[in-house]
Structure 1
Amino acid sequence: MKKNKSHAAALFAAALAALTVFGAAPAGALNLYYGDIHSHTSFSDGEGIPEEAFDYARTTGKADFWTVSDHLEQLDKRQDLLEGAAPVDEFEHTMKVADEKDDPGKFAAFAGFEWATDVSQGHINVLNAKSIPSVNKTYRLKQFYKWIYDNPDAMMGFNHPAEPDGFRFNNFELVPAIARQVFFCAVTRERDIPYFYNSLDAGWWLAPSGHQDNHSRNWGTHPNGNFTGVYAEELTRESIIEAFRARRFFATNDRASKIMLTGNGQPMGARLTAESATLEIDVANGGGAKISTVSLIGNGGETLEKWTPGSAEFKVSASRAASTGKTLWFVVFAEFDNGRYIMSAPIWLRSEAGI
């Protein structure tokens, strides 16, 4: 059912009130870190144990940060043997191991979980939660959203939205009460990209994240090459979480690449209130690949401008005007001649005239 304009305006206002200010840190004061927020162990449907995952991701995968996020329905406070050792509460053990493996300034370790009980509505990853909910009490998407709302420090996002068919999170219907806590949409494969655009059109304030979604002992070395690149002030849990809250991160399947999009001097993730935005685009690949195309994408997934650099580095400026009564979003998508890609977080632009 289509909603009328007044209802849409009310949703926008409510969501705006629920959100924190994004993009507050100047781009020049930030460092770039690579890692992942979605991987599994034998505590659900993967291999190994959390100790292995964090150690491998750090030493072999060369990740700056890593998250173990086993499936909720397989963690639900049941007691399992830890490969022949004494029984443990799996989520509590994962949190304990993350605390032990966390090394401020060198490696950030996170414990999370993946909600997937109502499979018709998709899979959701959760970070920064100190406990897990009851599977029976959060079986439906609406129930799970309520749990997120009741746990305001918890952060969540939409996993692999294009696979399998039908995983659409109630068609990305905006829930303003939890908008501040919903921070990513996974872009694990190119077929996920249209759904990321759909989520932005629905009104969510999200950035794209690259997930390896490991189910084997290849944390950080998965063949898909996916990483999330985060611009943070320092390599600590607190700083990475701040960057997630600011939507200051990007998705790529080429670790040698990087991207920055700024709007009126504010880094990607920023929500601007102005009559126009000067967008500065900076894409680079340090692994030998050349940049084939750089596209500026806007509402509806429309390609607004496109460039064909053919070089390892590319910088360009673009100006876009605001639209009265409508919030605009801008994303940069770049492809490399090795078949890999990178996608920025959005810049949002809203006219001073408002809605």
Structure 2
Amino acid sequence: MTLARHLPPALIALLLAACGGGNDSNNPKAAASAEADMAQAAAVRPRAKDPDHHEFSATLAAPFAVTASSGERMFAVQMNHPGIADGQVFAWALSLVDERGRVLQRWSGESRYAGAPVTASVRWAGRGAGGTALADGLYQLRLEAASVDAATALNQGASAERTERLLAAAAPTDHAEQQWPIALGQPASVALPPFAAMPTAAARGLAKAQSAPAINSLPYTVYYANLHSQTNDSDGGGAIGSCSSSQPAQTGAYGPADAFAYGRTAGLDILMSSEHNHYFDGSSGTNASGNAAAARSRYQAGLSAAAAATTASYLALYGMEWGVISNGGHMNIFNSNELFAWEYNSSNQLFGDRFTAKSDYAALYATMRQLGLIGQFNHPDPTGQFLVGGADLGYSADGDEVMVLAEVLNSSAFSSNTTETETGLSNFEAPFNKLLERGYHVAPASNQDNHCANWGRSYTNRTGVLIPNGTALSKTSFLDALKARRVFATMDKTAQLVLTANGHVMGERFTNGGALSLSVGYASNSGHSAASVQIYEGVPQRNGTVSLLASSATASTTPAVGEHFYYAKLTQDDGKMLWSAPVWVTQSNAPVDTTPPTATASESGTAGSITLSATASDNVGVARVDFLVDGVVKGSDTSSPYSVALDSTALANGSHSLVARAYDAAGNSGASSAVSFSVSNAGATLNETESNGSIASANAVTSQTTISGTMGTTTDKDYFKLTLAAGKTLRVDMSCPAAYDYDLYLVNAGGTTLTSSESATCTESMSYKNTGSSALAVYIKVAAYSGSSSTQRYTLTLSYP
């Protein structure tokens, strides 16, 4: 976009420096005064303190359902263009569209910018043009908005059609589009295929308690992430209460360590601090007197803060948001141990570890690929950004290899909301679709781009990351999941969305012959349901338009020979949306494979790390083997010999059933016969608590598998109560010093002996199976027969063979 003709000279110089224009990078005197210029610019235009966020933006707040008894609802269009001159014209048009794409009603208008965001409101009575009645169902609101200088606006005259002409005349970089669903009346319910919610980081223990097999279970745990935020290492970390924009370079109140601690308490599983790479000199421009070593050191300190904040259940990440908005585009680099830079101080020292030319995305992608780095397109614009070969969102093979995510929805970057109720949301579906049609293999992400100190709390949106069950959360497993594109974007942090195609999980690339069956799996842990589901299709490198394949949760299609991609979008009954990662399909005309693989299963170990193994064969080749324990997928392996390690503490003590299910590339599957195995975890020890000398005063055994106690006198008795499930067997082994003779009994609530062990020592063993149809309360009884000690302890070991 063109800014210079609108701004006073002092601000022109400043913004040229911030965007890399002019010659300030080689002018120590000019660069050293960058912060003074910033102060002067802020006085001229208060929002000019956001030099890296001076793009035009427009958001639409549209209530999904009506709450007023009159049936009316209010739509709000908010527009902003920080740093632009007063008098700039904001033109906007809002269209009501039905499911077939027909425009039913259209509103438009114009507003003048005066240094602050502008809001235009539309009151809708819930009817069509002319007051016509509309059928119950889902509709879309489409927003077009543009920022146009006053002179251009005057040249368009004053007719009623001027707004439409202004929208058409706006520069591509000063144009915004948004689309949001709304419901009228009671839309028809959506049929969904059976799908068991995958475990989440917050509820990983639920799978342990499942008593019935999960339906359509997938072998992954969902981790909810916010992969885009800033701290005072660049232009974020603003204190709540005074924060309404980005902060001048490195002046925010809070740093990376604060952000990581906050994100953990906000319920995030993963938080990334993504700092603007060109702010490490302490300036949004070029600080010629800056300390290059300090810039590099500050980046390393951020990496150290992330490592220190990471725990077994929380992953802190630190990296760069590389690039600038104007004539560029922001992108995250997730895993670089080096700071990339293009600015030098007056001693010709680079403010980073590695030089990367500003806005040269083809070269950057090549560097990232060489170093094994991966990235994310941040709040992409469909035009004027990420140029390669002069093309917007231009394709390169290097870029396709390293760019794994693209943001499809963000909450407001400058929100200070801490109750997850932010209304400023931006939708990037159009550039996401364009990237897919360009040929990029990207999954959708939804992040918060926090600049205020509310990391994870501005809204409920998250990026869902799928990590294999049994694999610990770590930077490595996170990066592996992103490289596999096992990711979904969600506006609801309690929801999940997965697309499968002929047995392949979203993110996969595979060859197909014949029909392709697509299925959308959705789960909500907060009681929501689906109001609509769409499956979209496109062709990589066609540079065409993504189209709607089906408005249902399942679809079958036979693609044309060649390359295709498919992804799902779901709207909940509260209007919040989710997007799946695509599947990429190479359709061939080869004969269809309908022969399922065969498999056999085996297990070794009873405690600690147990091994689930399988052999599998197929007429074409085995693609993967899933291991199901009691009907729940616990892990997968894609190469022979097929096996996974499983922590036995994820299972209850006792017997379990293992089935290995093998898949081939065509999606055919074959299951092994069930194999029974037992788990005997060494749980926590229960130390006897006196008095427990009767059934009524028995100590309760919960998850403990070891009991320790003493016989204080030769007439002492100890009782321990536990519940034995129907069909389960309890074994109790006792040991104690050789000088004593204690006996062991198992009795019911009435004191009747069910089984016992009475040898001449205190080395005793007994087993009992509950053959009834319901759980049974049983009592372990230890009695002194000869000798006693109040200090020498006996030990009971419980197992469930």
Compute the TM-score of the two structures, normalised by the length of structure 2: 0.37
Distance 1:338 1:118 in 2: 33
Aligned to 2:548: 303
Aligned-residue offset at 1:281: 0.9
Alignment match, 1:230 = 465
2:365–2:402 Cα contact (<8 Å) kept: no
Distance 2:429 2:506 in 1: 18
Aligned AA (2:365)? Y
Cα distance in 1 between the residues matched to 2:505 and 2:281: 39
- Whether 1:131 aligns to 2:338 is yes
CA distance, structure 1, for counterparts of residue 438 and residue 503 of structure 2: 26
Indicate if the aligned counterparts of 1:172 and 1:202 stay in contact, CA closer than 8 A: yes
AA matched with 1:227: R
Q: 1:121 aligns with which of 308, 315, 328?
A: 328
Q: Offset at 1:79?
A: 5.3
Work out whether 1:204 is the aligned partner of 2:425: no
2:379 alignment partner in structure 1:
160
1:62 aligns with 2:252: no
Q: 1:288: Cα distance to partner? A: 3.5
2:439 aligned partner, one-letter code: G
Task: Give, in whole Å, the separation in 1 of the partners of 2:405 and 2:377.
Answer: 6
Give how far 1:260 is off. Answer: 1.0
| Equivalent-residue separation in structure 2 for 1:134 and 1:323 (angstroms) | 45
Structure number with larger C-alpha Rg: 2
Residue identity in the other structure for 1:94: G
For the residue of structure 1 that corresponds to 2:230, the secondary structure is coil
Conserved? CA contact 1:65–1:108, under 8 Å: yes
**Do 2:280 and 2:295's aligned partners in 1 also have CA atoms closer than 8 Å?**
no
Structure 1 residues 293 and 118, CA, compared in 2 at 3 Å: closer, same or farther? closer
The 8 Å contact of residues 210 and 226 in structure 1, kept in 2 or not, is answered as yes
Measure how far apart 1:219 and its partner are.
0.8
Residue aligning to 1:249: 487
User: Following TM superposition, by how much is the alpha carbon of 1:145 offset from its aligned partner in structure 2, in angstroms?
Assistant: 2.6
**In the alignment, what sits opposite 1:93?**
301
Residue in structure 1 matching 2:430, options 176, 179, 194: 194
Matches for 1:280-291 after TM superposition, within 5 Å: 280-291=519-530
Give CA-to-partner distance per residue, 1:218-241, whole Å, 9 cap, x none.
111123x32100110232221111
C-alpha spacing 1:138/1:353, structure 2 compared with 1 (3 Å): farther
Name the counterpart of 2:641.
none
Question: Which whole-Å CA distance do the structure 2 matches of 1:203 and 1:37 have between them?
Answer: 23
Corresponding residue for residue 321 of structure 1: 558
Which of these residues, 42, 66, 69, is aligned with residue 232 of structure 2? 42
User: Residues 88, 157 of structure 1: CA spacing in aligned structure 2 closer, same or farther, 3 A cutoff?
Assistant: closer
Equivalent residue for 1:183? 404
Query: % of aligned pairs identical?
Result: 26
CA distance in 2, matches of 1:183, 1:253: 20
The separation in 1 between residues aligned to 2:291 and 2:522, in whole angstroms, is 47
- Residues of 1 paired with 2:262 and 2:291: CA distance? 25
Could you report, residue by residue, the CA deviation over 1:255-286 in whole angstroms, capped at 9, with x for unpaired residues?
11111111221210011201232222111222
Deviating more after overlay: 270-279 vs 210-219: 270-279
Structure 1 position 130, deviation (Å): 1.1
Which residue among 43, 65, 74 is the counterpart of 2:279? Answer: 74
Shift of 1:92: 0.6
Tell me which residue corresponds to 1:6.
Answer: none
Amino acid at match of 2:536: I
Q: What is the 5 A alignment of 1:332-351?
A: 332-351=568-587
* Further displaced range: 140-149 or 31-40: 140-149
Q: Partners of 1:203 and 1:258 in 2: how far apart?
A: 26
**Can you give the 5+ residue segments of structure 1 that lack an aligned partner in the other structure?**
1-25, 81-85, 308-315
Aligned to 2:510: 272
Secondary structure of the corresponding residue to residue 287 of structure 1: coil
Residue matched to 1:107 = 314
**8 Å CA contact 2:386, 2:394 repeated in 1:** no
Asked if structure 2 preserves the Cα contact closer than 8 Å seen for 1:40 and 1:69, the reply is: yes
Alpha-carbon separation, structure 1, partners of 2:376 and 2:491: 19
Bigger RCO (CA 8 Å, 6+ sep): 1
How much does 1:120 deviate?
1.5
Among candidates 33, 55, 60, match of residue 223 of structure 2? 33
CA contact (8 A) 2:488 2:579 kept: yes
- Amino acid paired to 1:320: T
The residue type equivalent to 2:534 in the other structure is S
Paired AA for residue 157 in structure 1: Q
Q: Is the 8 A contact 1:285 1:291 kept in 2?
A: no
Q: Distance in 2 between matches of 1:330 and 1:87?
A: 43
Helix, strand or coil for the counterpart of 1:34? strand
What is the TM-score normalised by the length of structure 1? 0.81
Which has the larger strand fraction? 2
**Superposed displacement of residue 317, structure 1:** 3.0
CA distance in 2, matches of 1:87, 1:198: 36
Secondary structure at the aligned position of 2:479 is classed as: helix
1:262 to 500, 503, 527: 500
- Conserved 8 A contact 2:281-2:295: no
- The structure with the greater share of residues assigned to helix is 1
With 243-252 and 254-263 compared, the bigger mean Cα shift is at: 254-263
Q: What's the CA shift for 1:121?
A: 2.5
Size of the alignment, in residue pairs? Answer: 310
What is the rounded CA distance, in whole Å, between the counterparts of 1:351 and 1:51 in structure 2?
A: 48
Cα offsets for 1:311-342 (capped at 9, x unmatched): xxxxx432222321x31111100112322110
Provide the secondary structure at the position in 2 that maps to 1:63.
coil
Report the AA paired with residue 231 of structure 2. T
Distance 2:319 2:295 in 1: 20
Structure 2: which 5+ runs fail to align? 1-215, 238-253, 283-289, 344-355, 411-425, 539-544, 591-801
8 Å contact from structure 1 (residues 39, 70) kept in 2 = yes
